[in-house]
Amino acid sequence: MTHLTETMRDTLSRQFDAAGARVIDLPILYSADLFVDLIGEDIRRRLYVAPGANGEAMALRPEFTIPVCLHHLRHGEATRKATYACLGPVFRQRADDEPGEFHQAGIEQIDPLGGFEFDAASVASAVAMVESLSGKRPIVTIGDLGLFSALLNGLGTPAVWQRRLEGAFGDRRVLDRMLRRLKQGGSETHGASAGLARILEGKAPEDVREAVEEMLDIAGLSAVGGRSVGDIAERYMEKAELAAMAGWDADKIAIIARYLSISGSLDDSLEHLAAFDDEVGAILGDALVGFAERIKAIKAAVPEGTELQFKADFGRRLDYYSGFNYELHFAGEDKPVAGGGRYDRLLGILASRARRGNAVEAVPAIGFVVWLDRLTQTEARA
């Protein structure tokens, strides 16, 4: 685990103060299902889990964003403005022999006004923190799920496939595989699962849920693999819909693939996106206008000379992200040293789950974390 020196702590304290962030202490243990539901299935195999006193699976916190949002909700209305600083260990299994316990530092901001300057300030704070800790200027890579969603909407992508493509955003190999499947038609469902999906095809949601509940009851189960009855029923309805679907428009699939290949500097990418949008009938609309405004704000906020890149297929693989996201890395290094993004839906979802406060649909929120161990490793190699 990273050893935090007094110099690092002093540097982080100054960075937190500069951002107007208040340091908070957060619990270590949380419900494991909370992270699986809100981050995505990929996190399930990476959690460190043990049974709690009431039998509920409890996990060591794998990240800070969800714990910070829970803290925010416990102390007032979801829509109030706040800026939090986090510093401490997180726990999740990682590849390449990286330790499963490691320190992160980050800043989470909640502001009902939101706006592009809000996004730009987060990027600027992340750049400043990384540079102050390492003495090196990072490269910033930016992606935007909102642009991708606008493209899928504009092309009239079948709803079930739009959900799947948006869910896989950030993993190009999975996206390419899905596009091939979309062109062919049908689903990847096989065997008994495919047969059940066909039986349920066209059934009302409540009938599917009832059928799934009955099957689980016969088997003596209340859930499977951590998934609720509702989750399982929804999955089977989706499989039935996919199994009945013919291949989609090959030209539109090619347009999606072309979009995902756009990358380069922010300025060049904006030109490429504008030209692409003209060719496909100006379907990106307000999402492209907003992207241009965000670029302008980010360029004004970060230090002059900061390298800014855009990749249309870039996304951080966390389900709670709702649009703009970014990562920082050093030239010649593959692993990011910091990453963040917008998660405007998360507070509303958590408030609804906890039945806490007034119902809210979206609260503008953004955050980032720095992997302190990776900064140390980079210094050691230099």
pLDDT in tens, 108-124: 999 999 999 999 999 99
Give 121-169 pLDDT, tens digit per residue.
999 999 999 999 999 999 999 999 999 999 999 999 988 888 889 988 9
Nearest to 240, CA basis, from 165, 158, 160, 175: 160
Q: Is the pLDDT of residue 215 over 70?
A: no
Q: Please indicate whether residue 197 or residue 259 has the higher confidence score (pLDDT).
A: 259
What's the CA gap between 380 and 371, in Å, rounded?
15
Which pLDDT belongs to residue 360?
A: 73
- 199 — pLDDT class (breaks 50, 70, 90): low
Residues 154 and 134 in one domain: no
Q: Would you say 170 and 317 are in contact if contact means Cβ atoms under 8 Å apart?
A: yes
Q: Is the pLDDT of residue 74 over 50?
A: yes
Q: Is the pLDDT of residue 245 over 60?
A: no
Find the length of the chain: 382
Residues 167 and 307 in one domain: yes
Angle (nearest 5°) at CA 79 between 77 and 84: 85
What's the CA gap between 57 and 60, in Å, rounded?
10
Residues 111 and 146 in one domain: no
Which pLDDT belongs to residue 44?
A: 87
Residues 113 and 230 in one domain: no
Number of domains observed in the structure of the chain: 3
Q: Under DSSP, is residue 351 helix (H, G, I), strand (E, B) or coil?
A: helix
Residues 219 and 200 in one domain: yes
**pLDDT (mean) for 285-306:** 95
Domain boundary among 329, 350, 368: 329
Residues 292 and 316 in one domain: yes
Nearest to 371, CA basis, from 323, 331, 327: 327
Range of the domain at 166: 141-185+247-329
Residue percentage of the chain with pLDDT more than 90: 62
Q: What is the enclosing helix (H) or strand (E) of 265?
A: strand 263-265
Domain boundary among 220, 243, 266: 243
Q: Which residues contact 177 (CB under 8 A, 6 or more apart)?
A: none
- 190 — pLDDT class (breaks 50, 70, 90): very low
* The model's pTM: 0.84
Mean pLDDT rounded to a whole number for the chain: 86
Which pLDDT belongs to residue 217?
A: 64
Q: Is the pLDDT of residue 69 over 70?
A: yes
Q: Is the pLDDT of residue 265 over 70?
A: yes
Residues 174 and 255 in one domain: yes
- 317 — pLDDT class (breaks 50, 70, 90): confident
Q: Under DSSP, is residue 51 helix (H, G, I), strand (E, B) or coil?
A: strand
Task: Write b or e for each residue in 59-83: b if 16 or more Cβ atoms lie within 10 A of its Cβ, otherwise e.
Answer: bbbbbbbbbbbbbbbeeeebbeebb
Q: Which residues contact 99 (CB under 8 A, 6 or more apart)?
A: 1, 373
Residues 56 and 104 in one domain: yes
Q: Is the pLDDT of residue 189 over 80?
A: no
